[in-house]
Amino acid sequence: MKLLFAVLRTVAGVAGLAAVISTFADTASRVAINPFNFFGYFTLQSNILTAVVLLTAAAMIFQGRKQSRGLILARGCVTTYIVIVGAVYNTLLVGTPGGGGVELPWANFVLHIAVPLYVAVDWVFFGDRTRLPWNKFWIVLVYPIVWLVVVLARGATDGWVPYPFLNPALGYGVVAMYGVGIAGAIGLVGAGVWALSRVRILKP
Is pLDDT above 80 for 92?
A: no
> Residue 201 falls within a domain, yes or no?
no
* CA dist., res. 11 & res. 182, Å (int): 29
| pLDDT band at residue 188 using 50, 70 and 90 as cut-offs | very high
> Residue 202 falls within a domain, yes or no?
no
Q: How many structural domains is the chain composed of?
A: 1
pLDDT tens digit string along 29-79? 988 889 999 999 999 999 999 999 999 999 999 999 999 999 999 999 999
Single out the residue of 62, 66, 70, 40 nearest to residue 155, CA to CA.
Answer: 40
Q: Is the dihedral of CA 120, 125, 129, 131 positive or negative?
A: positive
Q: What is the mean pLDDT of residues 119-134?
A: 95
Residue 123 structural domain? 2-196
- Of all residues in the chain, the percent with pLDDT exceeding 70 is 95
Is pLDDT above 70 for 129?
A: yes
Predicted pLDDT at 75: 98
* CA dist., res. 202 & res. 124, Å (int): 9
Residues 6+ away with beta carbon under 8 Å from 63: none
* CA dist., res. 143 & res. 72, Å (int): 16
Q: What is the mean pLDDT of residues 137-146?
A: 94
Single out the residue of 38, 69, 34, 75 nearest to residue 53, CA to CA.
Answer: 75
Q: Count Cβ atoms below 10 Å from residue 97 Cβ, excluding itself.
A: 5
Helix (H, G, I), strand (E, B) or coil at 32: coil
Single out the residue of 133, 139, 122, 141 nearest to residue 198, CA to CA.
Answer: 133
* CA dist., res. 6 & res. 31, Å (int): 37
> Residue 31 falls within a domain, yes or no?
yes
- Is-contact 136 73, C-beta < 8 A? yes
> Residue 204 falls within a domain, yes or no?
no
* Helices assigned H by DSSP within 39-98: 42-62, 69-88
> Residue 7 falls within a domain, yes or no?
yes
Q: Count Cβ atoms below 10 Å from residue 82 Cβ, excluding itself.
A: 31
- Is-contact 85 116, C-beta < 8 A? yes
* CA dist., res. 7 & res. 13, Å (int): 10
Average pLDDT, the chain: 91
pLDDT tens digit string along 164-176? 788 888 888 888 8
- Distance between alpha carbon 125 and the CA centroid of its chain, in Å? 19
> Residue 95 falls within a domain, yes or no?
yes
> Residue 85 falls within a domain, yes or no?
yes
- The one-letter code for the residue type at 158 is D
> Residue 60 falls within a domain, yes or no?
yes
Predicted pLDDT at 165: 81
